[in-house]
């Protein structure tokens, strides 16, 4: 066998091995449908998960309702992390999840947020009663659990009807934060996960909405019936439940579910 032929065989073998390694790595990608409030939280955790397990994970962030609809319509996700328990229950009812009920992995907190350069230097729920208030951003109650919580809080405080004409409705909680941060709304009822990001900490200040003003925002996760992602999904849920990750979630604005 000539040296040239040996070299060609070697090159072909290297290319085949590289392709096989790429295919195996691709099959290990865990695809996560993640509620919009997780957008500031998940990226560093996914990097930590990959370093621990060798499993690459990618997240797509939308409102929980949008993600549930995509999953029911056949979107190829392996794990669904919602901002409530109801939308994962819809996926379960459609026969697309492994479990019979979602697992609560965190509890969200609703806050009132304003820019530092606004006239609301000190925030409280009474700030919402200011007749000069021009606009209030909330996530869409039909699509986003934080939007439902915001609506429930306004009803509880007796402020929904007077503030309804001033509401600026966002598609999801991340967009609600963008609206108030950009000045397109004067105040915003947003998630604590958004409010404690370095960017919003520097740009504004917040006050927590009393927790008795809205139903608990229990956030649920389910593993979807996907042959490739099931085992990886279970490893991800174990990772989520670990004490160190729960502590990181709490620091990022998500309290333990219990």
Report the pLDDT averaged over residues 118-135: 96
* pLDDT surpasses 90 at 253: yes
- With bands split at pLDDT 50, 70 and 90, how would you rate the model's confidence at 228? low
Q: Write out the two tokens for 14.
A: 């290297």
pLDDT of residue 214: 98
Model's pTM, two decimal places? 0.85
Cα(235)–Cα(202) distance, integer angstroms: 36
Domains of the chain: 30-107+216-251 (3.40.190.10), 109-213 (3.40.190.10)
Report the pLDDT averaged over residues 229-246: 92
Q: What is the pLDDT of residues 175-216, one digit of tens each?
A: 999 999 999 999 999 999 999 999 999 999 999 999 999 999
């Amino acid at each position: 066998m000539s040296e040239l032929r040996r070299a060609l065989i070697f090159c072909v073998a290297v290319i085949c091995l590289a392709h096989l390694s790429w295919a195996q790595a691709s099959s290990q990608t865990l695809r996560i449908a993640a509620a919009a409030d997780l957008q500031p939280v998940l990226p560093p955790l996914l990097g930590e998960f990959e370093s621990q397990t060798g499993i690459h994970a990618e997240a797509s962030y939308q409102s929980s309702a949008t993600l549930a609809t995509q999953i029911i319509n056949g979107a190829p996700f392996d794990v669904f992390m919602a901002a409530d328990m109801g939308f994962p229950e819809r996926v379960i009812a459609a026969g697309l999840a492994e479990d019979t009920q979602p697992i609560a992995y965190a509890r969200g907190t609703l806050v009132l947020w304003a820019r530092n350069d606004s006239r609301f230097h000190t925030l409280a729920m009474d700030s919402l009663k200011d007749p000069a208030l021009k606009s209030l951003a909330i996530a869409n109650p039909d699509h986003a659990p934080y939007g439902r919580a915001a609506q429930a809080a306004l009803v509880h405080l007796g402020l929904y009807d007077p503030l309804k004409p001033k509401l600026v409705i966002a598609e999801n909680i991340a967009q609600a934060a963008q609206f108030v941060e950009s000045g397109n709304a004067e105040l915003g009822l947003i998630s604590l996960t958004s409010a404690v990001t370095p960017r919003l900490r520097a740009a504004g200040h917040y006050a927590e909405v009393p927790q008795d003003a809205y139903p608990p925002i229990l956030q649920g996760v389910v593993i979807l019936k996907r042959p490739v992602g099931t085992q990886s999904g279970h490893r991800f849920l174990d990772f989520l439940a670990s004490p160190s990750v729960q502590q990181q979630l709490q620091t990022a604005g998500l309290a333990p579910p219990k």
